[in-house]
Amino acid sequence: MANKIINLGGKMDKFQKELGSLINRHSLENGSNTPDFLLAEYLVNCLKAFNRAVQMTRPMEISSDKIQKAMNSDKGKLLGKPNELSRTKR
């Protein structure tokens, strides 16, 4: 499933070809004397790696969000509400 998300249903292949053409059209490959298709492949792989890294952090964000909500919702139960504490019999 991760590869499907990263490749976006074949859109990345088309994007890579168009990126290679764009690099060539603007002669951006001349700076490194690297073929345009290799630069396009490199840049697409960078984008795929970034997308994967972001996807891998999502479960941690969700988990930490759930933990924080749980901690906040339990504060009243564990400590009691201020009005309840002041009314307790001694």
Q: How many residues does the chain have?
A: 90
For position 80, what pLDDT does the model report?
Answer: 52
Query: pLDDT tens for residues 10-43?
Result: 899 999 999 999 999 999 999 999 999 999 999 9
For position 1, what pLDDT does the model report?
Answer: 46
pTM: 0.59
Show the domain range for 29. 2-86
How many structural domains are present in the chain? 1
